[in-house]
Amino acid sequence: MADYKLEAAKAAFKFIKANQTIGLGAGTTVFHLVDMIRQDQHLAQSVVLVSSSFKTNAYLQQHGLNVKSSAAVKHLDIYFDGCDQFDQELSALKSGGGIHTSEKILASMAGEFILMGDETKLVPQLNTTYPLVIEILPQALQIVLERIQSAFPDAAIKLRMSNQKDGAVISENGNLLADIQFTTLPQWQQLNTQVKMIPGIVEHSLFYQMATSAVIAGENGIQIITPERTKH
């Protein structure tokens, strides 16, 4: 069976040029992309790499690549990342890793934000399969939970708890993470700003119309998707 993540990474690799500053997210497809960069000696020596992921950063450093902190970089030429699902307008939900705040910072710094993955990630419109993840300042936990429940009475909110220590999962920024599972489809454009405006929410995991293109692989080969965005 074809490895579609590997095929998507091969297609995404073609966008990278020498001397660029490249941002990288997390996941299998990103690791494939890193392997291709390090195997191209000239490219590996010339590019600067920045990642939102602890695991990706460790992998980059392990292989002696030129890694910088996002705090030391003003602009990325391209940011590559995967997602749970995305639609034709290239709005994406990235719920799994809980590092969406760092990912959004890098995505906003990039001239191009390219999503990568297999064709199952593309849906006609975002749905309720995956939760919206929110990062919350600890002192605002109760007010945030109350505001979310009031705004979305049909939604279930669950604080992420650690399965390897007693207590809540703490983000890399020292904050709490909670999953909002919707039962009815929200208005994504409204949700994008409404949730962010609740005091105490640092960021959420909806990447609303941020990506500039997507590279996906499937049974029919590689597709390069550019957004079909409606005017609001």
User: Which is catalytic among the residues 7, 89, 103, 146?
Assistant: 103
CA distance 116 to 133: 20
Give catalytic status of residue 103 as yes or no.
yes
In DSSP terms, which residues pair with 80 in a beta bridge?
24, 114
CA distance 35 to 29: 10
Q: Which amino acid is at 169?
A: V
Q: Compute how many other C-beta atoms are within 10 angstroms of the C-beta atom of residue 160.
A: 16
CA distance 155 to 6: 36
Q: Helix, strand, or coil here: 194?
A: helix
Please report, for residues 1, 33, 72, 142, 159, the alpha-carbon distance to residue 40 in angstroms, rounded to integers and kept in the order given: 26, 11, 25, 50, 43
The residues annotated with a catalytic role in the active site are 103
